[in-house]
């Protein structure tokens, strides 16, 4: 079955959802490309800057970034080399293992991050006009879709409630045993700093 075959695509809503999601994936790629070109960087270089700015040191390694962005370690290393040459990122030794290092943006890197991180604004502006009820429905479905894709191994890295050891579910109710609070659909996190992989 090909959702690119228009007869098949228009047969039912499910096929149109898949085709729509595929089109949306291009939107983010295009927006990121446009921003990257403006600053003479590649999309992966901007993604590395953004990730290392907002995640903890132990995640800001070449291996973790390669998994996060589904690329090879040499691809990340090459991107990091350019960011270092441009003085946008710096390497810091890991105090627990002198052979390892983690990455953090420099002051100039942070300035570039401020200028580039709004590449998602065209989508954010549209979503801000959606009712809270509709936002919750959209979020619940996106969250479930990502969790299922993770179980299939398509989404490799997940730091969301769905996969976290601290989450207890009872039908449609959720509870975070770390934060000691119930989680409503709108509270479920996509990327939680306290996430711990469930076994």
The residues that touch ligand SF4, with contacts defined as CB under 6 A, are 161, 164, 166-167, 176, 178-179, 189, 192, 194-195
Min dist. Cβ of residue 188 to ligand SF4 (A):
7
- Neighbouring C-alpha atoms within 13 Å toward the C-beta of 162: 19
Min dist. Cβ of residue 105 to ligand SF4 (A):
25
Whose Cβ is closer to ligand SF4: residue 134's or residue 187's?
187
Whose Cβ is closer to ligand SF4: residue 34's or residue 194's?
194
- CA-angle at 115, arms to 50 and 160, nearest 5°: 30
Whose Cβ is closer to ligand SF4: residue 131's or residue 172's?
172
Whose Cβ is closer to ligand SF4: residue 130's or residue 198's?
198
Local structure of 79: helix, strand or coil: helix
Nearest Cα to Cα of residue 49 among 65, 38, 70: 65
What does the DSSP 8-state code read for residue 130? S
Min dist. Cβ of residue 148 to ligand SF4 (A):
17
Q: Is residue 82 exposed (0-12), middle (13-18) or buried (19+ Cβ within 10 Å)?
A: middle
């Amino acid at each position: 079955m090909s959702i690119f075959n228009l007869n098949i695509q228009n047969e039912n809503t499910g096929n149109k959802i898949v085709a729509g999601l595929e089109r949306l994936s291009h939107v983010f790629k295009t927006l990121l490309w446009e921003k990257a070109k403006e600053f003479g960087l590649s999309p992966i270089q901007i993604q590395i800057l953004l990730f290392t700015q907002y995640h903890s040191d132990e995640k800001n390694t070449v291996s973790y970034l390669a998994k996060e962005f589904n690329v090879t370690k040499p691809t990340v290393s090459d991107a990091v080399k350019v960011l270092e040459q441009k003085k946008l990122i710096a390497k810091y030794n890991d105090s627990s293992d002198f052979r390892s290092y983690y990455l953090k943006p420099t002051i100039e890197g942070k300035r570039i991050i401020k200028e580039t991180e709004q590449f998602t604004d065209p989508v954010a502006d549209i979503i801000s006009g959606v009712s809270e009820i509709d936002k919750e429905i959209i979020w619940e479905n996106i969250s479930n879709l990502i969790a299922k894709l993770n179980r299939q191994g398509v989404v490799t890295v997940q730091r969301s409630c769905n996969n976290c050891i601290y989450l207890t579910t009872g039908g449609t109710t959720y509870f975070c045993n770390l934060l000691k609070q119930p989680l409503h659909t709108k509270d479920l996190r996509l990327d939680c700093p306290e996430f711990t992989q469930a076994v």
